[in-house]
Amino acid sequence: MTQTHTIARPDDWHLHLRDGDMLRAVLPATSQHFARAIIMPNLVPPVVTAADARAYRDRIMAAVPAGHDFTPLMTLYLTEDTDPADMAAAHAEGLISAVKLYPAGATTNSASGVSNFDNVAPVLEKMAEIGLPLCTHGEVTDADVDIFDREAVFIDRILDPIRRKHPDLRVVMEHITTANAVDYVKANDKNLGATITTHHLVINRNHILAGGIKPHYYCLPVAKREEHRLALRAAATSGDARFFLGTDSAPHTDENKLLPCGCAGCFTAPNTMSILAEVFEQDGALDQLEAFTSRNGPAFYGLPVNTETLTLVREEATYPAHLDTPEGPVTIFDPQMTLNWTA
Ligand code: DOR
Ligand code: ZN
């Protein structure tokens, strides 16, 4: 008899959809499995105003394939010029679900991010007041901080002071990559959650650097030592409601990944659910998959769990190496393991 595993339909609490041809090419991979996703605002130029978010939401909705049911949860890109009134109005009308903090220069298209955190204090105060979550790209950008330490240093130097100054601010530590971040979340009961990507549950830094450089495993925050990957696995599979899935699926064409200065990002949307089922089963925690992908995120964001379901079938799944797009092929993340569950 075929074995199946049915869960409430999942959501992706951190997703890059891009725009134009790329948006139309990658969105179906997400909307075939996911009901909702928090949409990252790091377009060029970024999504900074309510009007930008409304227009981008409309472009996403126009790209949803017939027969798919998908709701984009929009975000604003926090800049030192963000207008608290415009942001609050966007939240009040249900247009935005979060605001995204990129330290200036931290990653892809983050040039408009924040340099002086004092300048965004009034915006953060407003967010705390109205209950609008702040999603953080948690890496400092100081040239003298080692890239493998940037997340841990961000927690100490930026995040913890912000949370002390604005104790009512709801914060999501996005795509955590270290045991330090796991420990910080666990030590803080109130107003704090964290997303974990699919790829950070699978790769450590050896996958990027040992035996030749592998640009398709390069993302930000960069994958860390094995002990950190294991801490992320333990957090994700624990059922702890503070940890939930944010794939950070981030498509770049192969041409842009394979440059001498290649882009950061792993494209995991097509095979994420197969990989996660495999990872959770390997850890004897298939019964916790639904909490991670479908329950903990809605609980944090104060949204209902999806009433529809997704059924995984115990059948070997294979995926193509690339998704072809009008801009060129985009490599699909290779987890280097047999996937025994088809989504
Ligand atoms: O690897 C990444 N890619 N990390 C980010 O923070 C941004 C993302 C992108 O937009 O490509
Ligand atoms: Zn991201």
Per-residue pLDDT of the chain (343 residues; tens, 9 = 90+): 679 999 999 999 999 999 999 999 999 999 999 999 999 999 999 999 999 999 999 999 999 999 999 999 999 999 999 999 999 999 999 999 999 999 987 777 777 889 998 999 999 999 999 999 999 999 999 999 999 999 999 999 999 999 999 999 999 999 999 999 999 999 997 899 999 999 999 999 999 999 999 999 999 999 999 999 999 999 999 999 999 999 999 999 999 999 999 999 999 999 999 999 999 999 999 999 999 999 999 999 999 999 999 999 999 999 999 999 999 999 999 999 999 999 9
Q: Are 277 and 312 in contact (CB under 8 A)?
A: yes
Catalytic option among 248, 254, 287, 334: 248
Spatial distance between the Cα atoms of 233 and 181, rounded to a whole number of angstroms: 13
* pLDDT for res 84: 97
Q: Are 102 and 110 in contact (CB under 8 A)?
A: yes
Q: Are 134 and 172 in contact (CB under 8 A)?
A: yes
Spatial distance between the Cα atoms of 149 and 152, rounded to a whole number of angstroms: 6
The amino acid that residue 256 corresponds to is N
How far away, in angstroms, is 238 Cα from ligand 1 center? 26
How far away, in angstroms, is 251 Cα from ligand 1 center? 9
- What are φ and ψ of residue 285, in 5° steps? -130, 30
Can you identify the CATH homologous superfamily of domain 4-342?
Answer: Metal-dependent hydrolases (3.20.20.140)
Q: Is 189 a catalytic residue?
A: no
Spatial distance between the Cα atoms of 28 and 324, rounded to a whole number of angstroms: 13
Question: What is the reported pTM?
Answer: 0.97
How far away, in angstroms, is 4 Cα from ligand 2 center? 31
Atom of ligand 1 nearest to the CA of 137: 6
- Answer yes or no: is the C-beta of 101 below 6 A from any ligand 1 atom: no
Least distant ligand from the CA of 221: 1
Mutate to test the pocket of ligand 1, among 43, 107, 199 (most ligand atoms within 8 A of CB): 107
